[in-house]
Structure formats: structure tokens, C-alpha cells
Amino acid sequence: MKTNAIVAGVGMTTFGKHLDEGLKAIGGQAVRAALADAGITGAELDAAYVGNAAAGLVTGQESIRGQVILRGIGLGKLPVINVENACASASTAVHQAAAMVTAGLYDCVLALGVEKLYHQDKRKSFAAFSGAVDVEMIREFMAGLDRRAREAGAGAASSGAGEKRSMFMDVYAAAARNHMERYGTTVEQFAAISAKNSRHGHLNPRAQFRDELTVEEVLAEPMIAEPLTRPMCSPIGDGAAAVVLVSPARAARMGITDPVRIRSVVLHSGWDRGPDEEDAARLCAREAYEEAGVGPEDLSLIECHDATAPAELLAYEALGLCPAGEGGRLVDEGVTTIGGRLPVNTSGGLLRKGHPVGATGIAQIVELTEQIQGRSGARQVEGARVGLAHNGGGAIGSDAAAMCVTVLSN
């Protein structure tokens, strides 16, 4: 979808463990920050789209999540649309908000992503991920993961998925082992992605983890699911991020002279595709580039869905940064680090910034917007003009259940 929506303001909490704060407190903090950044009051909003994936399971709040959060900071009356779409909940909220602004139906819209995943009972947190597959097929799904792990001699990955860790770590571990076997990708290259993102996260005051790691330190950490050690896996977390989108006419009235525009935002679900057919991520990327009128060579930076280190490497290939099988080369050449030709996950990514699933997609938009506006401090990408966000979630068959790619530029 080609859009003309302008980013008027962004706001975000720190990501991490907020056991003493509820959804209302976390979400309200991000909304107030975005409104202040835009220089408006909540009374000026026409509508709000609120992304959340797991509140029903973790906190018990169902049905009216967005209304509860917004009323907690005194915002009522306006239409509130609750959006649930796995790890792509927040980017889907942006997709819907941008569509309404572009269609001319709304002039000023809030998109909020918010999540609380930490719970004293870790099984509740992991259940939030286990529900992001076809639950009628979950036994078959899990048995397939275990079987492939045993066949690969991956002892740590052959049991405990969904109980000791998110089952999606095992999905990514299987994809990593396949990539290594097929293309010769090494575990050191995956570890280098984790180390790179730790350097970026060290520079981000809102990141969940800010310690820097070397490749050797990443490899020395406990094994989660072969070949993934702990720093190669994104943590659960709590947090929120928000963005105010306005029409070009409203932006002009607000005096926004150097706007950041959402040029395209594309959303697809996976399907029963042929073995040589492009997947959802490749389809979204291709359409997003076409609608934005740019290509991979025009990008200044990327925020991608690095739920694991291998997921980032796979995203390099899906987004057209290199041919299939050559993601490891980009790692070795330092292309994707700050100071490289195309920095990826300057925020620290999901691996270090954190992954409160319902907030992640908008957190990516916050990072890209601030980079394009030149206000990212020590992690600023010089001359940033065009950014891409890649955010997916859930799994059905061999593909993501939801995938969203967004292109922004000044």
C-alpha cells in the first residue's frame, strides 16, 4: 500500500522487566511521549489503533485493551480499534492507521503497540508464543520440531520447547541448521550478528540489555536450541511504543517542514506455496520497494525482526540485500554494522533492545523516524534518509502467519 501518512510524533518506553507496572502505565507513558513529540493533545486525535498480542493470556485483559489503556490517561470518546496479529500486531496497527489517513477518512491518528510478557509463572509467558500457531495442529508441529532436532543431533533442541523457552526459538534453530547445511553458513557468523547488535544496543538508552558482547562471549553462553546460545535469542519483555500519523495537509498546518513520510506499508499472511515460490517476507519487500519507488540500494538503514540471530541473516536475503545463501558474507564484511554500508538494527534489534511482541513493530518505526530526523545520538547513522522496517509473527506451515514491511523517508 502506497501511503501519504506523515509521522508527526513518536514515543517509546524503555524495554525490560516492568513487574510493578501494568499495561495502562506502560502504554500511557508511550502515548504521552508521542503526543508531546507531535506537539498536540489527545483531544486532537481522530482515532487510535492499539496493537497487543498477549494481554489476554498474561494479564487477563481481553476485548477492550486499547480502551482501558487510553482511558487510563484520560482519553475517551474517540474510536479505538484493537489489533492482534502476533508479533506483527504493532506494525499492523500502523498499516491500518496509515491506510485511514491516506484514504482521507482520518486526519490525525494514534498507533500504539504495548505488551507485558513478564509473569511470575513463565509458562504463561511462553503460552503467548505457543498460541501463535494453528493450535489444532500443535502436537504435529512440535513433533516435527523434535524429530528434526534429533535427526540433526541437536540434543538441547529435542525437548523443552514451549515449556523452558518460546517454541519459536526451535523454529529458528531448525532454519539455522538448514541454512548452515545448505550454504555453509557458520555459527560464528550468527554469533557475530548478536555481538554487532550488542554494540548497537549499548548505545541505546531504551534497550533492555546494554552490555557489549564479543563473538567468543556469545558462543560461550548456555545453549538454548542448537546452534542458538542465549544471546542469539531475543528475550521476552515489557514495553510500549507509539506514533502519531497525520495527513500532509494536517502536517502543513502543524508547521512540519521536514516531514518523515511512510511511503509504503505492505502486509501479507503466509500461504501454501510451492518450494520455489517467494515467501511472505520476499513478497512484502518486493511490493514495498515498488510502491515506495526505492530499492535495497537506496536504503540508509533497516530495523528487522531479529527474533534470533539467524532470523536477521535470513532477513538480509529476503529483503534483497544479497542473494540467497550470502547473508554470512554481509556479516563478515561488516556491511550491517553502524559505520558500514547498510546498518541493520541500530536500536540493538529484538536481541538487545528487547521484544515485547505487541510493541516491537512500532518500536522499529520510532527508531527509523529518529534516525531520519538525526536525533539518535551516539548511534546516529550519518545522512540517514530512507529506512525499512521488517516485522513478522506467528507460523503456519513453513511461513510466517503475518508479515509486514514498511518504508519511511524524509
Instruction: Find the catalytic residue in 119, 179, 355, 390.
Output: 355
At 169, list the grid cell: 526459538
221 near 1, Cβ under 8 Å?
no
Q: Indicate if the alpha-carbon torsion angle 142, 148, 153, 157 is positive or negative.
A: negative
118 near 238, Cβ under 8 Å?
yes
Instruction: Find the catalytic residue in 18, 87, 119, 390.
Output: 87
DSSP single-letter state for residue 376:
-
C-alpha to C-alpha distance for 79 and 82, rounded to whole angstroms: 10
Give residue 169's identity as a one-letter amino acid code: M
- Centre a 10 Å sphere on the Cβ of residue 348 and count the other Cβ atoms it contains: 27
Q: Indicate if the alpha-carbon torsion angle 284, 232, 146, 124 is positive or negative.
A: negative
Query: Coil, helix or strand for 134?
Result: coil
Compute the half-sphere exposure of residue 313: CA atoms within 13 Å on the CB side of its CA. Answer: 34
CA–CA distances in Å: residue 89 to residues 64, 188, 346, 391: 15, 32, 22, 9
Task: Label residue 410 exposed, middle or buried (CB < 10 Å: 0-12, 13-18, 19+).
Answer: middle
The gap from C-alpha 242 to its chain's centroid, in whole angstroms, comes to 13
Q: Where are the alpha helices (DSSP H) in 293-346?
A: 309-318, 327-333
C-alpha to C-alpha distance for 200 and 378, rounded to whole angstroms: 9
CA–CA distances in Å: residue 349 to residues 13, 63, 244: 15, 30, 22
Please say if 390 is a catalytic residue: no
240 near 115, Cβ under 8 Å?
yes
Closest of 360, 359, 388 to residue 372, by C-alpha: 388
Closest of 408, 359, 401 to residue 111, by C-alpha: 359
384 near 300, Cβ under 8 Å?
yes
Please say if 87 is a catalytic residue: yes
The residues assigned a catalytic role are 87, 355
